[in-house]
Amino acid sequence: MIIPPERLTEEALRGVIEGYITREGTDYGEHELSLADKVEALMPQVIMGEVLIVFDEESESVNLVNKRDYQPPATETA
């Protein structure tokens, strides 16, 4: 299930993004960025809908997925 970012408080949205960044160990290239910098880089993409917030009901987990890579479950229509 896709969760629209506007349905989350700013604090919850930031928490989802921070959780994703720290869990995935994202690599931003040659220069290491702080967590705050990584959040600020990803936040606009989530707000603009380029990166989707996806809740998996089976595992009860939240993940961020690039819109072009998102594959809805067979029971869900995008």
**Checking DSSP bridges between strand 51-56 and strand 61-66, what pairing results, if any?**
antiparallel
Q: Which residue shows structure tokens 């880089």?
A: 41
Q: Is residue 77 part of a domain?
A: no
User: Which CATH number fits the domain that encloses residue 63?
Assistant: 1.10.10.610
The pLDDT-based confidence of 74 (bands split at 50, 70, 90) is: confident
Quote the tokens at residue 37: 């910098």
Q: How many domains does the chain have?
A: 1
- Tens of pLDDT, residue by residue over 37-63, are 999 999 999 999 999 999 998 899 999
Q: Name the pTM for this structure.
A: 0.81
Higher pLDDT, 33 or 6: 6
The order of strands in the sheet holding 51-56 is: 2-3, 51-56, 61-66
* Long-range Cβ pairs for the range 55-62 (8 Å, 24+): 55/1, 55/2, 55/3, 57/1, 62/3, 62/16, 62/19, 62/20
Q: Is residue 60 part of a domain?
A: yes
* Residue range of the domain that includes 37: 2-69
Q: Is residue 39 part of a domain?
A: yes
Q: Is residue 24 part of a domain?
A: yes
Q: Is residue 29 part of a domain?
A: yes
